[in-house]
Structure 1
Amino acid sequence: MNFRQFAFNNVTRNARTYLAYFLSSAFSVMIFFSFAVTLFHPNLSVVAEGSTMGLTMQTAEIIIFCFSFLFILYSVNSFLKVRMKEFGMLMVLGMSKKQFNRLIFLENMMIGSCSIVAGIIIGLVFSKFFLLIGEKILSVNHFNFYFPVKAIILTIVGFFILFMIISALTPILIRSTKIIELLKRGKEPNREIKFSWLLSVLGFVCLIGGYGLALSFGGANTFLNDLAENLGNPMLVITIIVSIGTYFFFSQLSILMIDLFKKKQSFYMKKTNMLWISDLAYRIRDNARMLFIVTILSAIAFTAISSLYILSQNVKSQTTKVFPYHFTYIATSKDRQEGTHIKALERQLNKHHFSYKKHVTHFIKQEINGSFYFVMSESDYNKNAHILHRKTIHLGKTEAYLIPNYPNVSVDKNPFLSQKTVSLNKGHLKLSVIDRAEGNILPSGLGNTIIVNDKIMNSITPIDDKMTYYGYQVKNWEKTYPIAQYLQKKFERNSTAPSFYYFASSDLYHAEKLTKNLMLYIGFFIGVIFFIAAASFLYFRLYTDLNKEQEKYYNLSKVGLSEKEMKKTSTIQIAILLFAPFVLAAIHTMFALGVLESMMGTSLRTEVCSVLAIFTVIEVIFFIVIRSRYVHHLKQYINR
């Protein structure tokens, strides 16, 4: 038997140990390859080449590759720990460092090569599914299956280099460990469990404080919100505080909670509770850092996918806020084609059988301290407010009502909205501001608007003649993008001066929908990798401790522990280790998305619950599979 055969036999003999490492590697290859299949699709290359879409997808592919490197490196490190005793025996029998490094290198390259092949084959099997998702999300027609030569070459070359680097780095992870430590690995006695009341309280305070800051984000003049802003970037402050709280939750607070359970004798001494509670304390203490990483990774995955899903689902409502009317045409006194353009717009809507309602309003332009504002009468505003389902107003002769340029603008951060009086007619007319609107009435980007009493409106001298505002409400306006594009070209070709303004909601909707869907598509791949990585870290740790657990339950079975009690005890431990990070990450996500909810000014509970429900189903399935395999290995060892 030569050295290569020896390495091959080591892999086959330790198939159970290396199976999860192989599967995690194959999964990383499959995700990278599936994304590359979309990236190199012939029907997308024309759109993506040199464009923002293309650069974004290429960047995402690099991110997936980099995270795959870290994920696989962690995976191999976790499973090498299971073989520490075996490595120690090989060194005692005379294996040199050079031979040891070569053995690890060959084993890793064998598994890596197989995972590359398996990942590509699985990716090819599911490529049609991912292409269908890409066709739907990216709005690219004819996203048919093709044989992805470029994707295959990129995946093979990229991951072959990746596995070579990992295979070269892996021996370094073991080289510094002494032989005697390798032989004793897994037999160290459990140290006394200690926790700090101070750090436990600090962890609890950090979690509650971080959640409080998230709830108050965007609120006006609240103590917590002001505190976060004074410290710097509020979101960064919240993230740091919650991260600190999460670490101390697992390393200190959870140990404290278990200690309190122990003191409740009626519960602690009941049946097998003493067994799983006392053992759980050691497992959480030994895995606190891993549980912290899993929680953070899961929270990132949940928050990223939920946020991107929410943004993609709310494009329509956000577009309506930016452009209150679906088609807007504003004519100035210099517009000589007003009638022609209006007829062309209506002709196109009628031609394509879109029903619409037309609303005409007049307003004027004023200059205040070097800035331009639009002034509209109270009666004209109330007509639009009634149409757009806004509240109507009643103004006195000396009163004004302010409307922002953009929706959901904070009064404290907008000088226009924060002023208490406004001056018109070059300062000769001063009006008191009685209130402010939350949403714009004119298209965003055009300018801030001041509403005044009808009699005051007639006394104001405009910079130009009155401007005419044509607003069209169109049924199924999302489908008017071809009309919007046609009118944009026609109006640009026929206009030689900025004598009019033209806006179409479908223009913004189409651009934003494509951008948000692209982000969702990318975020889906990256988020899934993060979530699977988080779940895999727990799986790795469980199987790293499997030999130790087998010995423990084997000895307990000799003194009367039944198979049913063994199943119950191990199931409770696995459930807590799997679901504690998941539940905490879900809570983090809900508070984090509460910030997004306050920024968008709309309820996002349905979208958040939908995403978390999907992840919950996946987590439950993962738990059932892991629990079944874990208990099977324990039973097999006990009944040997």
Structure 2
Amino acid sequence: MTFNQIVWKMAKVQYKKYLFYFLCNSFAIMFFFMFSTVYFNERIEQAKILEGLQGALMIPAVALVVFTIFFIGYSHNIFMKRRGSEFGLFMTLGMTKRDIAKVLLLENGVIALLSIFSGILGGAVFSRLFFLILMNSVGLQEIPFHISGKMLLYTLIAFLAVFSTAVGYSLFRTLHRNVIQTLKSNKVAETIKMKSPVLGGFGFVVMIGSLLFFYFTFSQATDGLVLLWTGTLLGGLYLSLYQFTSFFIELAKRNKPFYYRRLLFLTSLDYRFKQLTSVLMLVTVMIMVTLFFTTVLLAFYQSAKKEALERNPYDIAFIQTETKNNIPMEEVYSLLDRKENRVQKHLEIPVYTYYKKTKWDWQYQYVFMPVDHFNQLTSDQKTVGPREYLYFMNENPDYGESNSDYEEGISLTSGTKQISYSLKETIIRNEMNSNLGLNDILVVSNAEWEYLLNNVKGFESTIHLINVENWESSMDAVEELGKRFTSYNQSTPPITDVRTEHISEEELFQIISKVEDYHSSKNVNGILFFVMTFISIIFFFGSFILLYLHIFADIEQEKGKFKKIYKIGITLKEVKRMITQELMMLFFLPAILGSTLAFLFIVIMTTDSGGIMKNLDIALHFFIIAAIYLCIQTGYLLYARKKMVQHLTE
């Protein structure tokens, strides 16, 4: 019998390990390809309504890449661990290390090709279903499904890079082992290098300290500080997980009856935890990330209408100048004032913008408004004296923070003279559509307004604020008006002065409408929510496979261990109870830890919006999603328990 025949016969007998390894790689490719059909969709990249979505999708993309790296690498390690004794046997029969390398490369190459074919095929079928469900759920049926070369290329690059690295590392280890080491590779227990309850306690303290610092500095935290506290938290989490059982056993020893009745369970769990620290860490972080982002995005998705109403007191708003958006009002009304949706209110607020260059060569913008029109806008009865102004900040008073530069008084240049104005009062409330870009306004008397028009070089414009009967039905009218404005603006000379130094002409004169804001927010957050739900399903499924792989990788050794302890008097009932307790710790501790950390991050995130008690809807969303996950995890536990009991007692 030739070596090829021996290898083929052993492969047929041990087909389950090959099948499981093949399925792990196929699923990884399929999930990555399904995600890429959304991430690299050309219409999503080009659609104005989804501007910024590509950057927001980067977070789940990175999470999926990290998961793919760990998932493929880990499944490969388990596969190679099971093949170790076979390679040792081949070597005792005379096969050289070069022959082993050929076998290793051949079987992994075949599995890789089959995985690529089945993963791409499965991804093409299921990605279309996923894409249609996703786009129909968020109301973007006009975006078509398509498969491009970029999607295939990035999927192949990601898989082959991870897979080749894993195979190369295994090849290196196999070629540098002798026959004895190779034969015993799947029977050698992993060394437990450190047992330090103090270190575990220190990790827990680091976690709590990071969360507290994060909570108290969140409002002023920079991206670097957020990254620092998150990294410190994860470091503390790893130490806590690695030394969790050592810490728990140390506490249990203080209660001798409790400790000795559970001695076998505690020592077995201690070994398991130190073996599985990396897996448990990954599962905990995956649960934390998915629960946090899914909850936040669901809250954003469901609050899209409320947010649009808060940001846009008027249904339609735009800025008009002498050369931009300056079509006759009769034409504007012919587009907006429809029989089924009449215009209810229309305000025209004149503003005058003055730009002052600072010593850093930055253009500072002062926007002036006459007090009479301010009173018309706000229904106030304010008065302003000579050389005074009201600082009107068009923001939600709960979140708005005034600019100290406006509160210290201002000075303007009029010819060769410097004119100074002093602050009379600061007013913070949302009276106009926020995205107009005119959130800091200086209200002056009518006389001062006329003086500024005649003596200070600036730019005059008019803000139009319009309400209709039903803003939710105004999308067609707003789009038609936008097209008419675009056509008119293209026929006039482009603006090349200071006004467009930091913003494009199109952005400066765009229509800010309630209906477009609502649909944009709903669509973007809807896509992100459903993508994160998809990623969550992958993570939930993947976390179970990772735990399942490691638990059942050493099932033969576990079976031998339980046969030995069965001979010294342990009963089948006690074996089942110990298996259940151990699996419950492995499955539910990461779930509880990840859920707790996700909830604490949500509590921290809501500090800027009144705290968690003022955002109970977010808390409710979290508990619903967490409950669903725990139910799924319970199903995983029952299945794993059933399979493990069958294996150990057969």
Alignment partner, residue 288 of structure 2? 299
User: d(CA) in 2 for partners of 1:546 and 1:63?
Assistant: 31
Counterpart of 2:648?
634
Contact 2:351 2:463 in 1 (8 A): no
Aligned to 2:360: none
Q: CA deviation at 1:235?
A: 1.1
Could you say which residue in structure 1 is the equivalent of 2:481?
A: 487
* Rounded Cα–Cα distance in structure 2 between residues aligned with 1:354 and 1:366: 34
User: Is the Cα contact below 8 Å between 1:405 and 1:445 reproduced in 2?
Assistant: no
Q: Judge conservation of contact 1:131–1:143 (CA < 8 Å) in 2.
A: no
Quote the offset at 1:525 in angstroms: 5.0
> In 1, are the aligned partners of 2:389 and 2:421 still within 8 Å (CA)?
no
- Give CA-to-partner distance per residue, 1:237-264, whole Å, 9 cap, x none: 1111111111111122442123212322
Task: Answer whether contact 1:423 1:429 (CA < 8 A) is retained.
Answer: yes
2:239 is the alignment partner of 1:252: no
- Counterpart of 1:89 in structure 2 is 89
| Matched position secondary structure for 1:324 | coil
TM-score, with length taken from structure 1: 0.78
Which residue of 545, 550, 555 maps to 2:554? 545
Equivalents in 1 of 2:327, 2:165: separation in Å? Answer: 69
Paired letter, 1:506: V
SS of alignment partner, residue 411 of structure 1: coil
| Structure 1: tracts of 5 or more residues without a match | 220-224, 387-391
- C-alpha spacing 1:624/1:69, structure 2 compared with 1 (3 Å): same
Mapped partners of 2:397, 2:119: distance in 1:
47
Separation in structure 1 between the aligned mates of residue 247 and residue 37 of structure 2, nearest angstrom: 50
Residue 583 of structure 2 corresponds to: 574
Measure, in 2, the Cα distance between the counterparts of 1:49 and 1:502: 19
Of 255-264 and 526-535, more deviation after overlay is shown by 526-535
Seen in structure 2, the aligned counterparts of structure 1 residues 352 and 585 have a Cα distance that, compared at 3 Å, is farther
What is the SS of the residue equivalent to 2:77? helix
Q: How many residues align?
A: 608
Q: 1:278 matched to which residue of 2? A: 267
Matched-pair contact (CA < 8 Å) for 1:120–1:152: no
Alignment of 1:173-192 (within 5 A): 173-185=173-185
Q: What is the match of residue 373 of structure 1?
A: 366
2:598 to 589, 594, 615: 589
Kept after mapping to 1: 8 A contact 2:197/2:246 = no
How many angstroms does 1:515 deviate by?
A: 4.4
Opposite residue 567 of structure 2, the aligned amino acid is K
Structure 1 residues 322 and 145, CA gap change in structure 2 (3 angstroms): closer
In the superposition, relative to structure 1, how do residues 556 and 336 fare at CA in structure 2: closer, same or farther (>3 Å)? closer
Partner secondary structure for residue 449 of structure 2: coil
Q: CA deviation at 1:97?
A: 0.6
* CA 1:69–1:192: 2 relative to 1, 3 Å: closer
Q: In structure 2, what is the Cα distance between the partners aligned to 1:195 and 1:508?
A: 56
SS in 1 for 2:347: strand
Distance in 1 between residues matched to 2:9 and 2:324, nearest whole Å: 86
Measured in 1, the distance between the counterparts of 2:532 and 2:156 equals 24
The SS at the match of 1:32 is helix
CA-to-partner distance for each residue in 1:72-127, whole Å, 9 max, x for gaps? Answer: 23211123223433433333333311221222233334444444454355446534
1:572 is aligned with what amino acid?
Q
Correspondence for 2:401: 411
**1:328 equivalent in structure 2:** 317
What corresponds to 2:98 in structure 1?
A: 98
Q: Residues of 2 paired with 1:327 and 1:311: CA distance?
A: 22
Does structure 2 conserve the Cα–Cα contact (< 8 Å) formed by 1:215 and 1:591? no
Match of 2:422 among 420, 424, 430: 430
Report % sequence identity.
Answer: 24
Matches of 2:351 and 2:57 in 1, distance apart? 48
Letter in 2 for 1:431: L
Q: Distance in 1 between matches of 2:186 and 2:266?
A: 21
Partner of 1:212 in structure 2?
Answer: 212
Q: How far is the alpha carbon of 1:330 from its aligned partner? A: 4.4
Of 605, 614, 631, the residue aligned with 1:617 is 631
| Distance 1:541-1:501 versus aligned 2 partners, 3 A rule | closer
1:268 aligns with 2:282: no
Q: Give 1:12's aligned residue.
A: 12
> How far apart, in 2, do the equivalents of 1:96 and 1:337 lie?
80
Looking at structure 1, the residues matched to 189 and 541 of structure 2 have their Cα atoms a distance apart, in angstroms, of 32
Residue range with higher mean Cα deviation, 306-315 or 152-161:
152-161
Work out the CA distance in 2 between the residues paired with 1:68 and 1:259.
Answer: 37
Find the aligned partners of 2:126 and 2:627 in 1 and give their Cα distance: 24
Q: Show CA shifts across 1:112-163 (max 9, x none).
A: 44444543554465345313224325754377899x7979986997699566
| Cα distance in 1 for residues equivalent to 2:276 and 2:334 | 69
Cα deviation, 1:251-290, whole Å, max 9, x if unaligned, reads: 22442123212322343345xx333223212211232233
**Is the contact between residue 352 and residue 367 of structure 2 (CA under 8 Å) also seen in structure 1?**
yes
- Residue number in structure 2 paired with 1:443: 434
Separation in structure 2 between the aligned mates of residue 393 and residue 284 of structure 1, nearest angstrom: 70
SS at match of 1:119: helix
Residue 373 of structure 1 contacts residue 448 of structure 1 at CA under 8 Å; is this kept in 2? Answer: no
Q: State the match for 1:563 in structure 2.
A: 572
d(CA) in 1 for partners of 2:473, 2:42: 25
Give the CA deviation at 1:557: 2.2
Which consecutive residues of structure 2, in runs of 5 or more, have no partner in the other structure?
Answer: 358-363, 455-459, 496-507
Deviations 1:487-530 (A, max 9, x none): 01212334547898743233444455554455456555555545
Find the counterpart in structure 2 of residue 222 from structure 1.
none
What corresponds to 2:108 in structure 1?
108
Which residue identity does 1:26 align to in structure 2? S
Q: TM-score, normalised by structure 2?
A: 0.77
Task: Describe how 1:29-48 pairs up with structure 2 within 5 A.
Answer: 29-35=29-35
> Partner letter of residue 441 of structure 1?
M
Closer, same or farther: CA 595–80 of 1 in aligned 2, 3 Å: same
Does the residue aligned with 2:570 lie in a helix, a strand or coil?
coil
Aligned to 2:341: 354
Where in structure 2 are the equivalents of 1:187-198 lying within 5 Å?
195-196=195-196, 198=198
